[in-house]
Amino acid sequence: MESLLSPRAAHAGCPKNMEYGPCGGVGFDESCEVGDFRCVFLGDPLVTWHGGAPAEFDAVPRSSGALEMMALMNTRPIVVADFPAKALDAESLAECAALLAGPVDAALAGDVGHARVQFSPSYRASLIRAAGLEVWTGINCRDRNRVAIEGELAGLAQVGVAGVHCVTGDHTLLGGRPDAAPVFDLDSTQLAALARAAGHLVSVGESPTTPPVELRAARLLEKTRAGADVCFVNHSGGVDAVGRFVRESHDLGVTAGFIPCVPMVTDHASARLLQSFPSLVLPEGYLEGILSAADPREEGIRAAVELSLELLEIEGVAGVNLSGGAGVGREMEFAIALAETAERLAL
């Protein structure tokens, strides 16, 4: 796998040591997520992928989980749901997985700011799969160096996960563990290359409304050259914004499938968690309409279904990601709402 990565040339001044930046944490005022200064990548030319060539990936066999998910995506759009279980709680994990299995095609299992410490990705994935739910595992570059990441990627291939979502990750100064040392031995583009070399179906995220807006589609193209198959489109304001980004990407030659994030809000606690997402942009009036309704849970599900169906009309959209999380202690309730939303979609 090392041959796919050229020697690192991290940008001077980037707190995440990124080479292929910027990340999705750039503020709308162009500030870095870590401190009160301008993102060091802004104003620079786009860094193009100079690692392994796409032909090298063609010779790598896909894992069993990747093949199954790719076959499903060739038949219909998919529904991926953020995984709401309590951290480090195998019972909660099994309960939430059992509730989502069936209506949801895969759970996106990464981390959240208030629960940075999780079971290792491969172990958590094995527990979720044992409960009957397919897993789209999130891997970040914040917590592990490349050797540890390569070990996790190998383990995830053996577990048979549906996909691996590659993110640079929030800095440790953000979230629940500011005492932890940041690693950032790699960034999301380099991680995508390692994940593809390990045989995974590889996804990356992109934020169309985050500076530099004019380079976001081009940045996605470079991620696909590094091995990404799918792009999760971060919350960017709704159908028009997603459609514009997909068209811009297609015009540049991007052939990846797109899975836009759909905000899942059922109460004030889930609204607060969603609002903690970096660079969040929601459709106008979306949150207010849900929270002011007589039954916020029902209105949240209805709004998510309506927005999902509209997004699925965009050419190139391969599915939707029901995105959000539960208030503490309400993980099972949120899992039930996710499952009900997926059932109403009936894709």
Read out DSSP for 83-129?
--PPTT-HHHHHHHHHHHBTTBSEEEE--BTTB---S-HHHHHHHHH
What's the number of domains the chain is made of?
1
In a domain, 37, yes or no: no
Give pTM, 2 decimals: 0.96
Residues facing 319 on adjacent strands: 78
CATH of the domain at 127: 3.20.20.220
Sign of the C-alpha dihedral computed for residues 320, 167, 300 and 240 taken in this order? negative
Would 38 be classed as within a structural domain? Answer: no
Angle at 270 between CA 269 and CA 275, to 5 degrees: 100
The answer to whether residue 1 is domain-embedded is no
Residue 101 lies in a domain: yes
Determine the structural domain holding residue 113 and report its residue range: 54-345
The DSSP line for 253-272 is: T---EEEEEEE--SSHHHHH
**What average pLDDT values come out for the chain (347 residues) when binned by 10 residues?**
72 96 94 94 96 77 97 98 96 98 97 88 98 98 97 98 97 92 97 96 97 97 97 96 98 98 94 84 95 96 98 98 92 97 91
Backbone angles phi, psi at 115, to 5 degrees: -140, 60
49 inside domain: no
- Quick one: pLDDT at residue 277? 82
Q: What is the pLDDT of residue 54?
A: 67
Would 165 be classed as within a structural domain? yes
The closest of 335, 248, 242 to 281, measured between CA atoms, is 242
Q: Please name the residue ranges forming H helices in the chain.
A: 54-58, 64-73, 90-100, 121-130, 146-159, 188-197, 216-225, 239-252, 268-275, 286-291, 296-311, 331-345
